[in-house]
Amino acid sequence: MATQDYYQTLEIQPTASVQEIKEAYRRLAFQYHPDRNANDPHAADHMKRINEAYAVLSNTTKRQEYDAYRNRFGQNAHQHFRTTYADNDIFSGSDIQDVFEEMAKAFGLRGFDAIFKETYGPNYRTFQVHRPGFFAKGFVFFGSPGKKVEGNPGQDLPQPLVRIGKYLFKKLIPGGRPEKGADIHDRIVLDSSHAQEGGPYAYFLRQKDKKLIVKIPKGVKDGQLIRLAKMGKPGKHGGEPGDAILKVKIKKSWIQRIKDSIDKK
C-alpha cells in the first residue's frame, strides 16, 4: 500500500477545520471524478487516495489517532495507522456517499455506488437486509482498496458477507442501522522501568467502572497508543462497542529530571 500523508493528499494544512476538509474533498472529488477523466489512467488512483484521506480526517476520532501517529512517526504515520484500521474501519461512518450524491444531482455525474463499484472492483460489495417492518442496506470492503481479487466478481457472495447478513438479521432492530460505539480516550502513566520491561498493568476504566489488566508492550514509548478492543461505549442498534484507547505517559526518574534541568540552563 502506497504511503501517503492525508493532509497533503487533500492539499490542506494540519490545522484545517472540518469545513475546510469537506470543501477540499468536494473540490478534489469533482476534479478526479471518473466521469470527467475518462482518458486519465491515474484518476482512479487519485480518487482512492482522496477518498481514504477524507474518510479519516472528517472523523474526529480517526483524525486524532492519525495525528498522534503523524507526530510520532512522521512520513511513516500512514503505514502505522493502516495496521490499526482495516478498509471497513476507514470508511465506516463517513459521509462520502452524501458528497457523491450531491455531485450527481448538481452535475449529472454517476453517484456513489456506481463509482465505488468501478473504482474498487470486487473488493466493494453492497448488501440489503429485509425483514418485516424493516429494511437496511450498506456496503463492505474485502482486502485492500484497489487490490485485485482473484475469481469471478459475479460469483456467490463470500462468507464474510454472509456472516454480516446473519449478524444484521440477528442484531438489528427497527429504527436504525447498526452503529459502532464511540471510543473512550484515556491515558496511563508508567515509570521508565515498567515501560522498558513491559508486562501487566492494573488499570481502572472509570467510564465503565471496570478493573482491567493491560499488557504493556516491552519498550513502549511516551505518547504511544494502546487499543483495548470493544472496551469503549456501547454500539447502537446491535452495533459493536467502541474501543478504549490509552495514551502512554512515561514518568521521568528524579535523575532524568535533574539532567533535564541542567540541560535547560
Boundary residue ending a domain (157, 178, 199): 178
Looking at the 3D structure of the chain, how many domains does it have? 2
Boundary residue ending a domain (130, 146, 178): 178
**Same structural domain, 11 and 114:** yes
pLDDT of residue 56: 94
Question: What pLDDT digit, counting tens, does each position of 154-173 carry?
Answer: 334 444 444 555 454 444 44
Whether 3 is in a domain gets the answer yes
Q: What is the CATH number of the domain that holds 104?
A: 1.10.287.110
**Same structural domain, 172 and 192:** no
Share of the chain above pLDDT 70, in %: 73
Question: In terms of Cα–Cα distance, which of 194, 213, 216, 193 is closest to 205?
Answer: 213
Kindly report which listed range (45-49, 126-130, 198-202, 244-248) carries the lowest average pLDDT score: 126-130
**Same structural domain, 225 and 142:** no
Whether 265 is in a domain gets the answer no
Take residue 23 and report the three cell numbers written for it: 470543501
24 contacts 16 by C-beta, under 8 angstroms = yes
Question: What pLDDT digit, counting tens, does each position of 63-91 carry?
Answer: 999 999 999 998 889 988 888 787 778 88
**Same structural domain, 188 and 171:** no
Whether 151 is in a domain gets the answer yes
Please give the Cα distance from 21 to 222 (Å, whole number).
Answer: 29
pLDDT of residue 150: 36
Question: In terms of Cα–Cα distance, which of 237, 248, 231, 244 is closest to 61?
Answer: 244
Whether 79 is in a domain gets the answer yes
pLDDT of residue 155: 38
pLDDT of residue 184 exceeding 60 = yes
Please give the Cα distance from 258 to 254 (Å, whole number).
Answer: 6
**Same structural domain, 172 and 213:** no
**Same structural domain, 158 and 251:** no
Confidence class for position 237, pLDDT limits 50, 70, 90: low
**Same structural domain, 163 and 190:** no
Count Cα atoms within 13 angstroms, Cβ side, for 46: 17
pTM exceeds 0.85 = no
Coil, strand or helix at 173:
coil
Boundary residue ending a domain (162, 178, 194): 178
**Same structural domain, 126 and 216:** no
Q: How far is CA 182 from CA 64, 65, 113, 171, 193, in A?
A: 13, 14, 27, 18, 33
Host domain of residue 249: 184-259
**Same structural domain, 33 and 138:** yes
**Same structural domain, 135 and 100:** yes
pLDDT of residue 208 exceeding 80 = yes
Take residue 145 and report the three cell numbers written for it: 482498496
pLDDT of residue 149: 34
Q: 125: which residues sit within 8 A by CB, 6+ positions away? A: 139, 140, 141, 142, 157, 161
Whether 264 is in a domain gets the answer no
Question: In terms of Cα–Cα distance, which of 178, 160, 187 is closest to 248?
Answer: 187
Mean pLDDT on 114-132: 71
Mean pLDDT on 187-199: 89
pLDDT of residue 186: 92
